[in-house]
Amino acid sequence: MSTTKPPLIWLNVFIFSFSLAVAAIGTPLYAYFIGFDWTQVVMLAVAFSYCGLSITAGYHRLWSHKTYEANAVMRFIFAIGGAFALQNSILHWSSDHRVHHRHVDNNDKDPYSAKMGFFYSHIGWMLREYQASRYTDYSNCRDLQKDKIVMWQDKYYGILAIVTNFGFPLIFGVVHGDIWGALLLVGVVRLVLSHHTTFFINSLAHVWGSQPYTDKNTARDNGILAFLTFGEGYHNYHHIFENDYRNGIRWWQFDPTKWLIKSCSYFGFTRKLRVSPEDRVEKARAKMQLVRLQAKLTAASNANNCDVQARIRLLEEEYELLMSKISDYYAAKKRMVELKKKHLTKHYENFEFMQQYNDMKLHLQEQRKSWKMLTAQYA
């Protein structure tokens, strides 16, 4: 990357600095001298959630990664919410994000590479024209250019952004009886919160948290960030399984974006929800456990120590056994699902296979326990 700094994008500089200053200074002053009521606070939460979910469920998981399909009603709602969030059009946002995933952490190609520093990945990349050569190159989004709602929003994005960011707060302010309070809280504060919680995924989620699935990039899983970003904080998982409509795959993980997408599928608003194969997910976690323990054992003492080498060999052997049993079990599970669909599980010729399937399941459970005990012992 050239050492000469590109020109500033003054519109972005103004929007980010002005909105932050007004929110940081104007909000406490207004609260002290005039005050806000609970209706305004609730409306702030509603508007913030609308913006956030439009980005996470719409811009990100629907359009950028195609993790599910949505009908025109949902796409329109997300398109309006995305303009309200003021994070550029669907087409431009998705194009940037696809480049980010393809070239993650590459300082020359990743639009918001975390290796360029916290400030750059958080907001700095939008303050200067770093992407002048590809600003209107949407060749990686030809699929989105076939979506009429995407192209309509892209064409009228400026108008939609102005109308939503002034119109929604004004309407609420008129109805509620406090226009200035609404413009400040639902307008400016909501915008700042929406911006920076999203930006945290590009910055904080690449430096703060754990890496349970891969260490091939800087992405981290962080439950606190997930709470602030409607489930986007499980970023390490996302960067290895980007085509999954879920970010938090465990039942206890906070991922309201996942819950929204899944709930809407029951009413026909969303469909074809994509999930990552269970065996690939389990193998990725086990692989990272192996890598970490190998490094820990090697660093703890002389790598040539016979005891250390024996432990590492034992780990590798148990790991290979686990991989083998995972592959066998999930292959059998796939066949079992097919048999159940065809109502063939009660046929005599499949009885032996069902016994084998149950045996494989039991053997995998035993190997999981063995692996868990061994990794806990060496942790």
Condensed to tens digits (0 to 9), the pLDDT of residues 95-120 reads 999 999 999 999 999 999 999 999 99
Band the pLDDT of 378: cuts 50, 70, 90.
confident
pLDDT over 70 (residue 302): no
pLDDT over 50 (residue 121): yes
Q: 202 CB contacts (<8 Å, ≥6 apart)? A: 100, 112, 114, 121, 122
| 178 vs 353, more confident | 178
Residue type, 22: V
Q: Is 117 left (phi over 0), alpha (psi -120 to 50) or beta?
A: left
Query: What percentage of residues in the chain have a pLDDT greater than 90?
Result: 85
Give the mean pLDDT of 205-211: 97
pLDDT over 90 (residue 263): yes
Q: What is the pLDDT of residue 1?
A: 47
The separation between the first and the last C-alpha atoms of the chain, rounded to the nearest angstrom, is 40
Band the pLDDT of 202: cuts 50, 70, 90.
very high
What value, to the nearest 5°, has the Cα angle with vertex 216 and ends 213 and 217? Answer: 95
Q: What is the pLDDT of residue 2?
A: 54
Torsion sign (Cα): 304, 306, 308, 313: positive
* Residue (of 259, 199, 245) closest to 225 by Cα position: 199
The single residue listed with the structure tokens 């959630």 is: 49
Residue 13: CB atoms within 10 Å = 13
What is the C-alpha to C-alpha distance for residues 38 and 218, in angstroms, rounded to an integer? Answer: 40
* Residue (of 228, 198, 244) closest to 88 by Cα position: 198
Q: What is the pLDDT of residue 298?
A: 86
Q: What is the pLDDT of residue 347?
A: 60
Q: Which two tokens stand for residue 303?
A: 């790598």
Band the pLDDT of 57: cuts 50, 70, 90.
very high
The single residue listed with the structure tokens 């970023």 is: 235
Band the pLDDT of 306: cuts 50, 70, 90.
confident
Condensed to tens digits (0 to 9), the pLDDT of residues 126-162 reads 999 998 777 789 999 999 999 999 999 999 999 999 9
Band the pLDDT of 299: cuts 50, 70, 90.
confident
* Three-state secondary structure of the chain: CCCCCCCECHHHHHHHHHHHHHHHHHHHHHHHHCCCCHHHHHHHHHHHHHHHHHHHHHHHHHHHCCCCEECHHHHHHHHHHHHHHCCCCHHHHHHHHHHHHHCCCCCCCCCCCHHHCHHHHHCHHHCECCCHHHCCCCHHHCCHHHCHHHHHHHHCHHHHHHHHHHHHHHHHHHHHCCHHHHHHHHHHHHHHHHHHHHHHHHCHHHCCCECCCCCCCCCCECHHHHHHCCCCCEHHHHHHCCCCCCCCCCCCCCCHHHHHHHHHHCCCCEECCCCCCHHHHHHHHHHHHHHHHHHHHHHHCCCCCHHHHHHHHHHHHHHHHHHHHHHHHHHHHHHHHHHHHCCCCCCHHHHHHHHHHHHHHHHHHHHHHHHHHHHHHHC
Band the pLDDT of 37: cuts 50, 70, 90.
very high
* Residue (of 60, 216, 213, 75) closest to 151 by Cα position: 75
Q: 346 CB contacts (<8 Å, ≥6 apart)? A: none
pLDDT over 70 (residue 241): yes
β-bridge partners, 105: none
Q: What is the pLDDT of residue 350?
A: 67
Q: What is the pLDDT of residue 355?
A: 85
Quote the longest CA-to-CA distance of the chain: 80
